[in-house]
Amino acid sequence: MSGTSYVIKGARVLGEESRDLYVSDGAFAEAAPRGAKVIDADGCIALPGLVDLHTHLREPGREDAETVLTGTRAAAAGGFTAVHAMANTDPVADTAGVVEQVWRLGREAGYCDVRPVGAVTAGLKGERLAELGAMADSAARVRVFSDDGHCVSDAALMRRALEYVKAFGGVVAQHAQEPRLTEGAQMNEGELSGVLGLQGWPAVAEEAIIARDVLLAAHTGSKLHVCHLSTAGSVEIVRWAKSRGYPVTAEVTPHHLLLTEDLIRGYDPVYKVNPPLRSAADVEAVRAGLADGTIDAVATDHAPHPVEAKDCEWAVAAMGMVGLETALSVVQRTMVETGLLDWAGVADRMSARPARIGSVTGQGRSVATGEPANLVLIDPAAARVIEPGALYSLSHNTPYAGMKLPGAVVVTLLHGSATVLDGRVVER
């Protein structure tokens, strides 16, 4: 993995003064290694490789939408060096066998560290705990557990899951959606849902679960992570929980940082996602929450779907958007260009903190001698119009088609090997 050595000329680490970086044997080195390849990073920002807490790689089961290989290539193209593969595959990642399979596929692909997420309940059914310990002890060393796509709505089951994962330092990542309040829900509940005649997904259905779960986290002293938080009220609850010192972390998706429900007026299912796109006030609140650290991480919720799943009526369309290859650009647009975060802040929210939440060793570290060479170089002055057909992901359900977004990933290094060079994924 660490055959090639590199000299990276003139990179601005975390946006600071430009300097040269040296990479050999998979780590950052003190001096230029003999025979090193030179990468011209003039004008580029260098960040530690990005870590995604929330990726749907679809394998096993839906290889028509994405595979571990295609998904991790897309991740590398987006500047990621580690992804957490969500458990809602077919079969569900609720046994040591399935998580080890996904982990092994990730290693064979070699584009990212793939960290499988284990299901909290067997079959994601919300009835009884999956063998969490077996998944933790497996070669995949699972530390994040989630029924994502479904909420662990049973309070007693959620309590036990939180308690149980303490044994191996795990965290329960909750998809916060009160099921009875969201039966048949199609979009954010508000004035627009009333006008469009689409059944509402009220903010309270998310906030009620988060409120319950932060109290359970406090009660059990266990780690709760809130997936794809999307409302102003959710930000308030997490802010309150953190002010009390509760062991709670939270993530927001790029699409909830940029897009609002107004896009749904034309009923184009490319904008159908769960949780739904919210109001402009919610977008403002999640940006503020990410800026002040209430929200710990940006997580893509990369959710690939085949064409036919979106080329249909709104009501029958699948929920979700691809996001790995656009996440950094969206964060640059919504957080950096607005002055809400500097590049060090971006590194914190997209690399350091998600790595810590997921207990990912060797990721989310600083760009310093001796540290593993997981790195992304970004040209912040670049601008690109998003073309769905040009994405590395097997699926093209991006809500940003035709949109001009800032920034481009030029180079990604994974443990010292290039997965992206000159803005293109390296074939292996």
Which residues, in sequence order, are bridge partners of residue 29? 22
Contact between 319 and another protein (CB under 8 A)?
no
* Chain residue whose CB lies nearest Zn ion: 175
Smallest Cα–Cα separation from 276: which of 319, 246, 326, 232? Answer: 319
Q: Is 175 annotated as a binding residue?
A: yes
Which residue in the set 175, 223, 310, 333 belongs to the binding site for Zn ion (CB under 5 A)? Answer: 175
Q: Which part of the chain contacts another protein (CB under 8 A), choosing from 21-29, 132-140, 263-271, 416-424?
A: 263-271
Q: Is 296 annotated as a binding residue?
A: no
Structure tokens at 340: 């809400």
Other residues' Cβ atoms within 10 Å of the Cβ of residue 141: 17
Contact between 266 and another protein (CB under 8 A)?
yes
Question: Nearest approach, Cβ of 91 to Zn ion (angstroms)?
Answer: 19
Question: Nearest approach, Cβ of 91 to another protein (angstroms)?
Answer: 25
Nearer residue to another protein within complex by CB, 55 or 279: 279
- Interaction partner, residue 175 (Zn ion, another protein, none; CB < 5-8 Å by kind): Zn ion
Sign of CA dihedral 170, 294, 275, 68: negative
Other residues' Cβ atoms within 10 Å of the Cβ of residue 82: 28
Other residues' Cβ atoms within 10 Å of the Cβ of residue 345: 18
Which residue in the set 263, 280, 281, 312 belongs to the binding site for another protein (CB under 8 A)? Answer: 312
Which residue in the set 200, 304, 406, 416 belongs to the binding site for another protein (CB under 8 A)? Answer: 200
**What's the angle, vertex CA 376, arms to CA 375 and CA 380, rounded to 5?**
150
Question: Nearest approach, Cβ of 228 to Zn ion (angstroms)?
Answer: 6
List 113, 296, 301, 379, catalytic entry: 301
Which residues, in sequence order, are bridge partners of residue 414? 417
Question: Nearest approach, Cβ of 191 to another protein (angstroms)?
Answer: 3
Which residue in the set 148, 206, 251, 325 belongs to the binding site for Zn ion (CB under 5 A)? Answer: 148
- Listed in sequence order, the residues at least 6 apart from 2 whose beta carbon sits closer than 8 Å to its beta carbon are 24, 25, 26, 27, 415, 416, 417
Which residue in the set 134, 157, 181, 196 belongs to the binding site for another protein (CB under 8 A)? Answer: 196
Nearer residue to another protein within complex by CB, 42 or 311: 311
Contact between 191 and another protein (CB under 8 A)?
yes
Question: Nearest approach, Cβ of 312 to another protein (angstroms)?
Answer: 6
- Interaction partner, residue 25 (another protein, Zn ion, none; CB < 5-8 Å by kind): none
Whether 348 is catalytic? no
- Interaction partner, residue 148 (another protein, Zn ion, none; CB < 5-8 Å by kind): Zn ion
| Pairing mode, strands 18-24 and 6-13 | antiparallel
CA dist 229 and 58 (Å) reads 22
91 prior amide bond cis, ω within 30: yes
Q: Is 340 annotated as a binding residue?
A: no
The DSSP 8-state label assigned to residue 123 in this structure reads G
**What's the angle, vertex CA 299, arms to CA 293 and CA 305, rounded to 5?**
160
Which residue in the set 101, 186, 222, 334 belongs to the binding site for another protein (CB under 8 A)? Answer: 186
For 275: left if phi > 0, alpha if psi spans -120 to 50, otherwise beta; the answer is: beta
Question: Nearest approach, Cβ of 261 to another protein (angstroms)?
Answer: 12
Which residue in the set 314, 386, 421, 426 belongs to the binding site for another protein (CB under 8 A)? Answer: 314
Residue type, 256: H
> What string of DSSP letters covers 211-261?
HHHHHHHHHHT--EEE-S--SHHHHHHHHHHHHTT-SEEEEE-HHHHH--G
Q: Are 72 and 84 in contact (CB under 8 A)?
A: no
Residue numbers in the known binding site are: 54, 56-58, 88, 148, 175, 228, 274, 301, 305
The contact set with another protein (CB under 8 A) reads 186, 189-200, 266-268, 308, 311-316
Residue numbers in the known binding site for Zn(2+) are: 54, 56, 148, 175, 228, 301
Could you give the residue numbers annotated as active site? Answer: 301
The contact set with Zn ion (CB under 5 A) reads 148, 175
